[in-house]
Amino acid sequence: MKIRAKLFLLLVPLLLLSGLLINYLAGRAGCRTLHAETAERAGTTARHLVEMHIASFEAPSEQNLLPLLYEIATDLKAGQVGFADNSGTILAHTNVLRKGEKLSQANSAEYSPVDGKYQIKEHNPKGYLSVYTAVIKTLSDSAEELALREPGYKGKRLGTLLIDLSLKDSIAIEHKMARNIISILAVVYLLIFVAAFLLTEMALRPIHKLISGTERIRLGDYGFTIPVSTKDEFGDLAKSFNEMSSALSGTIVSKNYLDAIVDNVVDTLIVTDLHGIIGKVNKSARVLLDRGSRKLEGQGIMGFFPWDDREAGGWLGKLRKTGEVRDYEATLAAGPGITVPVLISASFIKDTEGNNSGIVAVVRDITLRKKHEAELARSNEELQRFAFVASHDLQEPLRTVSSYIQLLESKYRTVLGPEAERNVNFITDAVTRMRGLVRDLLDYSKINSARRLEEVETGEALDYVETMLRDAISAAGAVIERGNLPVILADRCQIERLFQNLLSNAVKFTNGGTPLIHVGAERSEGGWVFHVRDNGIGIEERHAGKLFKLFGRLHGNETPGAGIGLASCKKIVEHYGGQIWFESGPGKGTSFFFSIPNQTGKS
């Protein structure tokens, strides 16, 4: 119900009730005043007449009093007039039948002339207003006595005058008064209604503006403001409303705006409840998850991932366990017979109290990436095969060249002379380096993901490497210490090669003193971190970029090596999912670290 209707519903009974009350009370008060006034006027007039004829009342007799009573009745338009003595006995009355009647309390204060006492007999046009007036001889006999009169002197009471006045005129006046009161009330109430209508209109105007503003905000127009035209409470309310809308426009984007952004996100966006029931999806999701005419909202999201790890609860289970999922790889059943590789990132939506209220998942289609990865793998494999074949096939001609050069040297050394001998040596050295290079290349190309995993005691592997490098170690006078070396699941040859490359570098790049080398390992989260630490010449920071690249040599030809060792180490470590790095500085020695994560199975 509208406020105005409520107001009028409240006003109508109140006004009606007050009208009845006012009419009753005003009528009653007016009636009493009228009667009192009539009685007072009658009493005053009668007392005046009595005063002029006081002698008749001092020696009262019916014969003397009757003419006077008739005169009083005529003057007052009274129905009846009578006189009773102080004992209350009526001595004379215009209705002669009433002579001798006894008035009760005729001598009491009830009939005092000062108070204008009266009685109503039948309040109707045929009724009477009976006025009782004391007849008192007030003035003294002489002016001398008057001049000396004591305070409180009231004169001598001679009796009581009874005057019955018709109520006809009085009641006519009462009716007229009642009509006037009703007319006035009607006009006043009409004015009240009009004023109430106008006031409510005026009061509701700002409320209507507020309602309109609220509707605009509901529709997303958060910056909408309403004009502040008054300085009253409504003005304050409008000001508060405008501040609120201003704050809203600064902090909240509209639903349409948000929907437009969400719908135009390339990735698939899915919002579900905590049970994985889809509540909202964007356009990309509708395209990706197109299942004909079936509505996506209301379906369980895990129904789209039938191959996900059911036992662990899939990505949803991981989300519940960890609170967040990042780049979780899964296969999406996009339709009958259609699978799509995807990466899922998901997190919980929090409500205002910080509790989980839903899940938002971003599903990225990685079909293209998978295709590129496959092509790259195939390309790498072909390249590796080429390198293997090339290095393998180059071995034989080089060996032949080397053999014939050596044959020529031994057979024609004396004939060709010293010049030719030096040239032959050049050739022999070049061929030897080439063979080493080809061999290293061959070894490098042999490093691939095809590993023969076994439990390798890395200490034993180090023993084997030290044996292999015995001559070089002895020549350099190197001292090798070892720390904790664990047993790991790995390809023994690859581990030995790792140690071999790093150890030979440590022996090779010395600073002229005795090489001190320490080999050890420490457990890390999910695997082991090995180190090979020396006190050699160290590596400048600027060489860090090319250190692990193929053919990344830091020294001239006087230092043996093709720059393949550390590249091979990097390749081996990466096949295990680990990393290799170093810490060094010029003259401070070098520490190489490589991590070997725990391997879960054989490959």
Partner 1 sequence: MVLNKAGKKLYISAPRAALPLLFLALSSMPSLCPAQEAAAVLSRGSGLYFHTFLSFQKALGRPITAFDLSKEKPQLPRDLKAVVAFGSKAANFDYPAKIKVIYLLAPGYTAAGPKGTFTRISSRPDPALAIDAYLKLQPGLKRLAVFFKEPARETYLSELVAAAELRGVAIVPVGLTSAAEMPDQLRTLSGKADAIWLLPDPALITKVSLQVLAQFSCSNKVPYYAPSGGLADLGAAGAVAPDLNEIGNTAASALQQILSGKTQPGTIYLKSAETTINPEFINRCGLQIKLPSGKGAE
* Helix 458-468, helix 492-508: angle, nearest 10: 50
Instruction: Compute the least distance from the CB of residue 100 to partner 1, in Å.
Output: 25
Instruction: Compute the least distance from the CB of residue 52 to partner 1, in Å.
Output: 13
Question: For residues 147 and 450, which CB has a smaller minimum distance to partner 1 in the complex?
Answer: 147
Instruction: Compute the least distance from the CB of residue 161 to partner 1, in Å.
Output: 21
In sequence order, what are the beta bridge partners of 533?
Answer: 518, 591
Question: For residues 142 and 251, which CB has a smaller minimum distance to partner 1 in the complex?
Answer: 142
Phi, psi of 457 (to 5 degrees): -85, 110
Question: For residues 150 and 396, which CB has a smaller minimum distance to partner 1 in the complex?
Answer: 150
Instruction: Compute the least distance from the CB of residue 60 to partner 1, in Å.
Output: 17
Residues 6+ apart with CB under 8 A from 62: 91, 92, 96, 99
Task: Report how far residue 329's alpha carbon sits from residue 326's, in angstroms, rounded to the nearest whole number.
Answer: 9
Strands 278-281 and 324-335: unpaired
Instruction: Compute the least distance from the CB of residue 150 to partner 1, in Å.
Output: 5
Instruction: Compute the least distance from the CB of residue 47 to partner 1, in Å.
Output: 14
Residues in the chain: 603
Instruction: Compute the least distance from the CB of residue 197 to partner 1, in Å.
Output: 47
Phi, psi of 78 (to 5 degrees): -90, 150
Question: For residues 151 and 418, which CB has a smaller minimum distance to partner 1 in the complex?
Answer: 151
Angle at alpha carbon of residue 501, lines to 497 and 505, rounded to 5°: 165
Question: For residues 33 and 138, which CB has a smaller minimum distance to partner 1 in the complex?
Answer: 138
Instruction: Compute the least distance from the CB of residue 154 to partner 1, in Å.
Output: 9
Task: Report how far residue 293's alpha carbon sits from residue 288's, in angstroms, rounded to the nearest whole number.
Answer: 14
Instruction: Compute the least distance from the CB of residue 109 to partner 1, in Å.
Output: 13
CB 91, CB 85: distance < 8 Å: yes
Instruction: Measure CA of the first residue to CA of the last residue in the chain; give whole Å.
Output: 80
Question: For residues 151 and 292, which CB has a smaller minimum distance to partner 1 in the complex?
Answer: 151
Question: For residues 138 and 229, which CB has a smaller minimum distance to partner 1 in the complex?
Answer: 138
Angle at alpha carbon of residue 195, lines to 190 and 196, rounded to 5°: 95
Instruction: Compute the least distance from the CB of residue 143 to partner 1, in Å.
Output: 3
In sequence order, what are the beta bridge partners of 78?
Answer: 165
Q: In the numeric block, which tokens belong to residue 242?
A: 């405008």
Identify which of 126, 132, 133 has the alpha carbon closest to the alpha carbon of residue 170.
126
What one-character-per-residue DSSP string does 402-458 give?
A: HHHHHHHHHHHHHHHHHHHHHHHHHHHHHHHHHHHHHHHHHHHHH-SS----EEEEH
Identify which of 444, 452, 540 has the alpha carbon closest to the alpha carbon of residue 490.
452
Residue owning tokens 């022999």: 428
Question: For residues 29 and 114, which CB has a smaller minimum distance to partner 1 in the complex?
Answer: 114
Question: For residues 152 and 513, which CB has a smaller minimum distance to partner 1 in the complex?
Answer: 152
Identify which of 535, 530, 534 has the alpha carbon closest to the alpha carbon of residue 483.
530
Q: In the numeric block, which tokens belong to residue 357?
A: 């209220």
Question: For residues 143 and 368, which CB has a smaller minimum distance to partner 1 in the complex?
Answer: 143
Instruction: Compute the least distance from the CB of residue 24 to partner 1, in Å.
Output: 33
Question: For residues 49 and 468, which CB has a smaller minimum distance to partner 1 in the complex?
Answer: 49
Instruction: Compute the least distance from the CB of residue 186 to partner 1, in Å.
Output: 39
Residue 188: count other Cβ atoms within 10 Å of its Cβ: 13
Please report, as a single letter, which amino acid is at residue 13: P
DSSP class of 102: B
> Would you tell me which residues interact with partner 1 (CB under 8 A)?
139-153, 156
Identify which of 125, 135, 48 has the alpha carbon closest to the alpha carbon of residue 90.
135
Identify which of 28, 32, 43 has the alpha carbon closest to the alpha carbon of residue 116.
43
Strands 479-482 and 516-524: parallel
Question: For residues 58 and 201, which CB has a smaller minimum distance to partner 1 in the complex?
Answer: 58
